[in-house]
Structure 1
């Protein structure tokens, strides 16, 4: 191919501008606008990079809510709705795994188990209401069981135990230790579900100075705060491995 043919096959910018009816300066201005990103676009791109970094650091656990909290702690003023939009544009989302099928136990004394708490989850002082709950954790050769005690006033876990069985003998030392660490001097409500370890004679003895409250049968919302805590740690961490 000779030089003349090459030039003819690759028209000049002037020739192209004449052909489409625009000036050369207009062409360059358009190119500049196309290639130049506005400050707003650059800011969006930067924040999306921050969002993805936080998401990856959380092992892909965090959703828009928690990422928004992280960004705000760094000084960014951004709405959770905007973070969710940017996450969708990035094609990322919180990764949760479905937990294993749960197992339940019923008590033959169901009619005697009264729900005194009645979903009143905001006591006025510490050590007014404790909630206790056991959740299972799958391991290589079966299950282990995590029992936690939460003070509803602060939503803090104030005692916990990890055991290989659902025996009440694992719960008794936990309650004794928690009472000792909290220096209990006033009666309090202890709320639980109707699991066998919480309806046993030994449990009644160790909680003799407490007012016992029980969730309605097959109704986890009555113990929602600690149920949510166990669901959260299983969803975000345990079920991933």
Structure 2
């Protein structure tokens, strides 16, 4: 049986069934005894150019031929521009990564264009399609799933090193560069750091300012020897929420915190009281802060004196003297608060509490203590 041919009038009537009478393509194709894909092609051709659709015998006017040639050329030029943009990270990768990219995007661009843009052969691609995945590819798929799980569990805040330590803790042996490659392939990117802290304009008593006893020595031989403290603020629809925290330099654990709608001495005092209560009134303790008016206040200084705490303060205008505390607040904002909008202070309080007590202390891996969480580091120190 020869190939069936259809007159232009037949094609137009078939298209009208779909476009004007509301008959589905599948139903119209069955009624007319033609292939469904053929009818879809007719509908698409008519929609593109109703006046010149179905010229018959494949003949086109010279101007139509030129327009069609230019249209195809423009499409290819756009593809040659867009393919390298999407696949720029793969240009230095192996052929498996490039072939995977082609599989993912061959519904958008022809395979020949993709192969040409990425510098691989079509025959190689089709041979790769029929080949069983290599052991390395299967391993990358397994490790890649663990990488993504770690990244998502950190609320999309972990970089490659912390993800790497999560994967190692999960029993997988691999290198850091492999983790970086798998994160790059899956477009997993931690948020960049931004350091910004408005000044404290409160009144200070010069007599209460202490010397810089800590002197940037941010290591401690045991828990409850060196504490550092500071406060920051978070914007909500109700106004500022001020967050004070006390951090133990031994494990980088937040041992005390306080939140309030006002920036007063009571804010920082409450954080210190919580730390003393939770850590069992430690002795021989050094407390370091900046020279904020809250820390030099009579109320706060009396509280430290009553508990025998030695006071240390940063030099004027020198944020690096309390860099470890600045680092914690930077992590809090980048990893949690800066990308959220809080309707109320209570909502912000709940989120800060969740970050400190449910993520930072028990789970977040800290580079300074060997990529352990503060709680795990203290636990291992007690068992040592």
Alpha-carbon deviation of 1:183?
3.1
Unaligned runs of 5+ in 2: 4-122, 341-384
Match of 1:103 among 192, 198, 205: 198
What is the match of residue 19 of structure 1? none
Distance 1:29 1:196 in 2: 70
Alpha-carbon deviation of 1:137?
1.3
Superposed CA RMSD in Å reads 2.9
Work out whether residues 127 and 184 of structure 1, in 8 Å CA contact, stay in contact via their aligned partners in 2: no
Match of 1:46 among 123, 127, 142: 142
* Residue 214 (str. 1) matches residue 313 (str. 2): yes
* Residue 90 (str. 1) matches residue 189 (str. 2): no
Other structure's SS at 2:180 match: helix
Unaligned runs of 5+ in 1: 4-27
Distance 1:110 1:215 in 2: 15
Deviations 1:33-69 (A, max 9, x none): 5531321122223322332343344442222122212
Give the direction of change, closer, same or farther, for the CA distance of 1:184–1:142 in structure 2 (3 Å limit).
same
Distance 2:138 2:276 in 1: 56
Distance 2:174 2:186 in 1: 17
Give the direction of change, closer, same or farther, for the CA distance of 1:53–1:184 in structure 2 (3 Å limit).
closer
Match of 1:239 among 323, 335, 338: 338
What is the match of residue 193 of structure 1? 290
* Residue 165 (str. 1) matches residue 262 (str. 2): yes
Alpha-carbon deviation of 1:112?
4.5
Distance 1:178 1:31 in 2: 64
TM-score (norm. length: structure 2): 0.50
* Residue 122 (str. 1) matches residue 219 (str. 2): yes
Match of 2:233 among 136, 141, 146: 136
Give the direction of change, closer, same or farther, for the CA distance of 1:176–1:90 in structure 2 (3 Å limit).
closer
Alpha-carbon deviation of 1:2?
4.8
Distance 2:138 2:295 in 1: 58
* Residue 174 (str. 1) matches residue 271 (str. 2): yes
Name the structure with the higher helix share. 2
Q: Which moved more, 1:102-111 or 1:44-53?
A: 102-111
